[in-house]
Chain A
Amino acid sequence: MKKSTFILYVCLFFQLSSFSQKYGRVVYRVNSEKLTQNNSESESRKTFVLLMNNMSVIRDSIQLNLDFKDNASIFYVDTKTNLGLSNLKGYKGIINSFNVFYRNDNTDTLIEVVNSDKIYLVTSKASEISWKITNETKVIGNYKCIKAEGSIKSHSLTKGLHTKMLTAWFCPEIPIKLGPKGYGGLPGLIMELKEGKLTYYVKALNFNLDDVSINKPVKGKVIFKEDFFNLKPTITTDNFKEHIGN
């Protein structure tokens, strides 16, 4: 009994020491939920679904990196991979649909770089999300992960200001309190994150990098998240014609 306990402690020590590095890279990929249609739906709907599902094929092949060092991290599209896809129509737009996220837990800062009419550095608190950790578990790769549910304020054209629900599966065995899209704050790396119709999942972990440089985004107009939301229009049936169809 004592011997087995000793072996367990030794294993635990090596496990934790292997993650004691202060820098590294987590590679994520995305799985887009396929849109569905039925035969009774209009031709325009069928065309839309076909187009979106074609675009999801490109999107799901893109690699996203989460580089971290000390208490700072940056999440971005790795444009150096998937070069074979760069000639496909829609590739540029899909790359642009993934914003860069910079997170610093020392300063409790999250910056999302949004490229629209100009570049905005949308700033909020890194600790903004409140997570509810559940009892549900599942194994991802070789790691036992725990389900957490979160919510965050968001804005979209059709919903306006609303609360977006998130589901994260984090792994306490990897004590890195980070995840995709600047999400984090859970007691372990987010191995899987569902947001809307997108699921981000870990494709690779690399803790053997020589070094990682995390550069805080500085090019763009700094704006608080709430102020940025106020700039965005909300389309309703009343003002529909002002935005769509003209």
Chain B
Amino acid sequence: MKRKVFSVLCLICFCIVIGSNKLTTSTDCIEETFDAMDEMDDLGYSDLAASCMGNFVLAACQGWPVTIEEAEICFDL
């Protein structure tokens, strides 16, 4: 019985790990980040500013609480 409970718990943990991994590598968020960095380049911003903004876009897309004021730091690099 204990073994079965342990197996179920392991399975749940495995699913959580897989699920969270999917969240951080979400194709939609990567695409959104790529698009944002592309647009930064088209608007003539530096690679430094574009990669900084890419981090903010990815974080915001993944649900982290990111404000415009925080992201503005990318323009002061």
Residues of A within 8 A of B (CB): 32-33, 35, 42-45, 47-48, 50-52, 54-56, 59, 89-90, 92-94, 96-98, 116, 156-159, 195-198, 232, 235, 237, 240-241, 243-245
User: Do residues A116 and B33 form an inter-chain contact, with CB atoms below 8 A?
Assistant: no
User: Do residues B75 and A157 form an inter-chain contact, with CB atoms below 8 A?
Assistant: no
Asked, given contacts A93-B74, A244-B33, A244-B51, whether A47 binds B60 with beta carbons under 8 Å apart, the answer is: yes
Question: Within the complex, what minimum Cβ distance (angstroms) separates A47 from chain B?
Answer: 6
8 Å CB contact of A42 from B30, B61, B74: B61
User: Do residues B75 and A94 form an inter-chain contact, with CB atoms below 8 A?
Assistant: yes
User: Do residues B46 and A96 form an inter-chain contact, with CB atoms below 8 A?
Assistant: yes
**Interface secondary structure of B, over-half rule:** helix
- Name the residue of chain B whose CB is nearest to the CB of A240: B30
8 Å CB contact of B72 from A51, A195, A240: A51
8 Å CB contact of B43 from A45, A50, A196, A241: A196
Q: How far is the CA of A50 from the CA of B49 in the complex (A)?
A: 16
Which residues of A have CB within 8 Å of B75? Answer: 55, 89-90, 92-94
User: Do residues B43 and A92 form an inter-chain contact, with CB atoms below 8 A?
Assistant: no
Q: How far is the CA of A156 from the CA of B37 in the complex (A)?
A: 9
Residues of B within 8 A of A (CB): 24-25, 28, 30, 32-34, 36-51, 53-61, 66, 68-69, 71-72, 74-77
Q: How far is the CA of A29 from the CA of B47 in the complex (A)?
A: 22
Other A-B contacts than A44-B61, A48-B57, A94-B75, 6 sampled, CB-CB below 8 A, are: A45-B32, A47-B71, A51-B71, A56-B43, A92-B75, A198-B43
Which residues of A have CB within 8 Å of B45? Answer: 93, 97
Which residues of A have CB within 8 Å of B34? Answer: 158, 235
8 Å CB contact of B39 from A44, A52, A243: A52
Which residues of B have CB within 8 Å of A90? Answer: 72, 75-76
User: Do residues B68 and A51 form an inter-chain contact, with CB atoms below 8 A?
Assistant: yes
Which residues of A have CB within 8 Å of B74? Answer: 93
- Name the residue of chain A whose CB is nearest to the CB of B47: A157
Which residues of B have CB within 8 Å of A96? Answer: 46, 77
User: Do residues A44 and B44 form an inter-chain contact, with CB atoms below 8 A?
Assistant: no
8 Å CB contact of A157 from B28, B43, B51, B59: B51
